[in-house]
Amino acid sequence: MAARAVDRNRIERRVREALRPLLARLQSPTVLVFHAKREAAEASFADTKKDIKTLLGRAGLGDTTL
């Protein structure tokens, strides 16, 4: 995880926003836990969104296409 709080907060906001449109498509109840690597601070929002969609697909959590 990033060392600076500013970077950690940015990562958290990006992940939350990337998940927002996908949450309605997940079966409930679902618990998601993400642990971002240091490189996530430099990743673009598009990359973050793509990675999350890939992870959800690999986990078999339903159709995550938008």
| pLDDT, tens only, 8-26 | 999 999 999 999 998 888 8
The candidate with the shortest Cα–Cα distance to 49, out of 19, 28, 27, is 19
DSSP code string of the chain: --SSHHHHHHHHHHHHHHHHHHHTTS-SS--------GGGGTS-HHHHHHHHHHHHHHTT-S----
Give residue 45's pLDDT band: very low, low, confident or very high (50, 70, 90). Answer: very high
Average pLDDT over every residue of 33-59 = 91
Give the pLDDT score at 64: 53
Cβ contact 22:62 at 8 Å = no
Higher pLDDT, 30 or 66: 30
Give the pLDDT score at 22: 86
